[in-house]
């Protein structure tokens, strides 16, 4: 039963150049984005370290003055400590405490007496013999009585602790803090601005990368289209003279002197080479057609039993199999109904059988197997061709479906192969929205499997 003609696009639905252009765009965009990320990251780190280092230096200079005055006040004079207590806090300074070793708070200068307990808790048990700088945040918890009045208080403090010494012995600790919230907010805003600019330039970079990749591929695409058009035109032009030559050779073969072995040999060689050239022209023409701008293959889908076609394909190789002493086997159910292009699937079988016989030595075996898997959503026709040939090495299996690729170039040339058959087989499977793969080991033969999916609804029409 014939179904209406359909044009089935390959799974990607994109031409080779569109995919290459997208890959180039992605590559250029990634490089530009990484450059922007590194630049922004380095710029922000430099800015952050400059700001924080400046703040720390300011705090250290301020502490040098305060600890010097505290050490001079250690003469025990109450007036000296009172003079220190009366001193005003510097700009942005939050507190300035001097606590003796016994815990006596000698100086408790801060910008908010309500928060003094919170400030003191930040330096509780912080004892050191060196100058230490730390960062922290003042937050008022909801359970604190001061939460109502200071719930919006969120200060980022830069803390400093250093010993106050008398004759080389630590007798007290000096604690200072400055409000670093303003500089932290500046850093946050600068981060947002830098990231925003980076995103804008990244978008510009993507657009620019797409334009650059398009411009870079234009001459390549133009040359490729010219080449494809030339191959297609040349293939068309060569088919007619080759057909004429083949007809002439066959006519000469019938009229040639049967008793002259040299003439028969020359005509046989000529006939073989003409057929070989005709096969190459047909394959090139098929590939040229598949490389159209829409990368599509026109299919005439129909619902049919594929077993008779498989029998014909195997039978067509029976003479060659006998000559090479290769056993040909067809393993298939009595009926195998599929939905697809009858001619294209027959060509797929022919290619896989031809490839298997070429690389199977005398006394070997080639088997074509047909199967069908059904489920509610999708049916699947499975075609597999196995041989006991030379096998394919793992490194060659990734390239076996590429055009003009041959694992053994000398043997392929001797057997008449051009490295196009498997590429066409892959094209046919892709046109049916299927796939083809190979399983093989060197010296142990190969199994080529093609899976062709189709809708159960189509098969029931």
Compute the chain's Rg from CA coordinates.
43
Q: Is the dihedral of CA 385, 386, 390, 396 positive or negative?
A: positive
Query: What is the rounded distance in angstroms from the CA atom of residue 422 to the CA atom of residue 427?
Result: 9
For 300-459, CATH number?
A: 3.30.565.10
Low-confidence ranges of the chain (pLDDT < 70): 1-15, 73-91, 139-154, 227-228, 230-239, 256-259, 272, 276, 279-280, 282-298, 404, 406-419, 456-461
Q: How many CA atoms lie within 13 A of 285 on its CB side?
A: 13
What is the per-residue pLDDT for 142? 57
| Both structure tokens of 230 | 């030339």
What is the per-residue pLDDT for 353? 92
Question: Which residues partner with 371 through β-bridges?
Answer: 382
Picking from 282, 216, 224, 209, the residue whose alpha carbon sits closest to that of residue 15 is 224
What is the per-residue pLDDT for 410? 42
Q: What are phi and psi of 159, to 5 degrees?
A: -100, 150
User: Helices in 291-385 by DSSP H: which ranges?
Assistant: 307-316, 318-323, 342-358
| Both structure tokens of 90 | 């510097």
What is the per-residue pLDDT for 150? 57
| Both structure tokens of 294 | 């829409």
For the chain, give the percent of residues with pLDDT over 70.
75
């Amino acid at each position: 039963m014939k179904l209406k003609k359909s044009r089935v696009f390959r799974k990607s639905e994109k031409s080779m150049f569109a995919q290459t252009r997208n890959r180039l765009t992605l590559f250029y965009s990634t490089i530009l984005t990484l450059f922007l990320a590194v630049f922004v990251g380095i710029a922000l780190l430099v800015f952050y370290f400059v700001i924080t280092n400046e703040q720390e230096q300011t705090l250290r200079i301020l502490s040098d003055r305060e600890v010097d005055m505290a050490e001079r006040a250690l003469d025990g004079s109450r007036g000296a400590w009172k003079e220190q207590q009366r001193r005003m806090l510097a700009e942005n300074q939050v507190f300035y405490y001097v606590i003796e070793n016994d815990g006596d708070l000698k100086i408790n200068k801060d910008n908010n007496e309500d928060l003094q307990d919170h400030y003191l808790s930040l330096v509780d048990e912080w004892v050191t013999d060196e100058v230490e700088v730390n960062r922290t945040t003042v937050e008022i918890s909801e359970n604190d009585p001061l939460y109502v009045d200071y719930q919006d208080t969120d200060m980022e403090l830069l803390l400093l602790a250093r010993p106050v010494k008398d004759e080389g012995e630590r007798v007290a600790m000096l604690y200072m803090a400055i409000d670093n919230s303003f500089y932290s907010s500046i850093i946050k805003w600068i981060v947002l601005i830098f990231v925003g600019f980076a995103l804008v330039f990244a978008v510009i970079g993507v657009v620019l990368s797409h334009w650059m990749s398009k411009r870079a591929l234009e001459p390549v695409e133009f040359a490729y289209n010219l080449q494809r058009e030339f191959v297609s035109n040349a293939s068309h032009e060569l088919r007619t003279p080759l057909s004429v030559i083949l007809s002439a050779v066959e006519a000469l073969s019938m009229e040639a002197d049967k008793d002259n072995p040299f003439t028969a040999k020359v005509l046989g060689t000529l006939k073989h080479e003409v057929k070989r050239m005709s096969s190459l022209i047909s394959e090139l023409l098929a590939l040229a057609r598949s490389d159209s701008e829409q990368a599509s293959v026109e299919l005439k889908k129909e619902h049919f039993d594929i077993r008779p076609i498989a029998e014909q394909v195997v039978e067509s190789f029976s003479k060659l199999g006998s000559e090479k002493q290769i056993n040909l086997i067809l393993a298939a159910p009595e009926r195998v109904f599929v939905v697809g292009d009858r001619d294209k699937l027959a060509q797929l079988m022919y290619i896989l059988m031809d490839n298997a016989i070429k690389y199977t030595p005398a006394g070997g075996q080639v088997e074509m197997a047909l199967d069908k898997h059904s489920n509610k959503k999708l049916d699947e026709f499975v075609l597999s061709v196995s041989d006991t040939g030379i096998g394919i090495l793992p490194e060659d299996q990734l390239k076996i479906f590429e055009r003009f690729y041959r694992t053994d170039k000398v043997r392929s040339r001797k057997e008449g192969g051009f490295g196009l058959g498997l590429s066409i087989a892959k094209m046919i499977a892709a046109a049916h929205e299927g796939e083809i793969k190979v399983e093989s080991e060197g010296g142990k033969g190969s199994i080529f499997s093609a899976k062709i999916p189709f809708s159960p609804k189509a098969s029931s029409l």
